[in-house]
Amino acid sequence: MEHSNADEMLADFGLTRQEAAVYRALLVSGPLNGYELSKELGISRSNAYTALSCLVDKGAAWLADGSPARYVPVPPGEFCSGRIAALDRAKKALIDSLPDRKPEPGLFITVRGRERIMERVRSMIDECAERLYIALPWGELRELAGPLAERAAAGIRVVILTDREFATPLALERAAGVKPNSRGQSPECHGIPRGAVELRLIVDSSRVLTGDLSGPEPSCLYSDQKNFADLFKDALRNEIRLSRSETGEGPL
């Protein structure tokens, strides 16, 4: 992986560009003191010690005993897990301190950008209480394999439409990294021709997200308008019936 890509991802975990470079240097060279690090990276000793101190504060390095004191990198997995746990604690505290004003029911909201759309999809899956129907190309669906398998294992009805060659519970379980039948109930999978799948998600027969993830500026429409949800549920059921007739499974 190029350093710039790693540094950008480390920035998502709270490190500045210089701290990311220092963290990488510790991972490559092992324990270093500020003088050794300044020579390694060509930065001032003052900047080296400042960055090392910040890494300790942020959970990316330990300070080893000895003279001169050296700094030891925390393994990347442990560092990332620690930051995620800290953010989760901060999230709970923030939610408790902010007013809980939900959107007015019946609105139609446009969600733009692939990352924002996938965040909305994950949130809807996590909040599902009884049943969900999802149509999505396999490239995106495999990103959601774990949450979908967990929902099915929890007894929620999960119905999937995706590219025909991947439309099996086994493909989803492999993508989720679980053994077949080890999670209890399996999702119900139906295949449709490649290229014909767009995003459609219906949760608990009440909330809908639909749109196209292809192209440079993807956008989707979200609504909890009941008539809209009923319309899309009927459309998905018709697609499932067509899929079952084409594969010889018979009517629903």
In a domain, 186, yes or no: yes
Q: Are 227 and 134 contained in the same domain? A: yes
> Mapped to the 3 state alphabet, what secondary structure does 171-224 carry?
HHHHHHCCCCCCCCCCCEEEEECCCCCCEEEEECCCEEEEEECCCCCCEEEEEC
164: phi then psi, degrees, rounded to nearest 5: -55, -40
| CATH code for the domain in which residue 223 is found | 3.30.870.10
Q: Which two tokens stand for residue 164?
A: 């025909």
Within-domain flag for 102: no
Evaluate whether residue 130 is within a structural domain.
yes
Indicate if 15 and 51 belong to the same structural domain.
yes
Alpha helices in the chain (DSSP H): 3-12, 17-29, 34-41, 45-57, 76-97, 114-127, 138-141, 145-153, 169-176, 226-247
Residue-level pLDDT at 45: 93
Do 173 and 180 form a contact (C-beta atoms < 8 A)? yes
Q: What is the pTM of this model?
A: 0.68
Residues 117 and 222 in one domain: yes
CATH code for the domain in which residue 18 is found:
1.10.10.10
Same domain, 150 and 202: yes
Distance between CA 186 and CA 156 in Å, rounded? 10
Within-domain flag for 190: yes
Q: Is residue 17 one of the residues assigned to a domain?
A: yes
Averaged over successive runs of 10 residues, the pLDDT of the chain (252 residues) comes to: 75 92 93 93 94 94 88 94 92 87 76 91 93 89 88 89 80 70 69 73 91 85 87 82 66 50
The pLDDT score that the predictor gives to residue 1 is 46
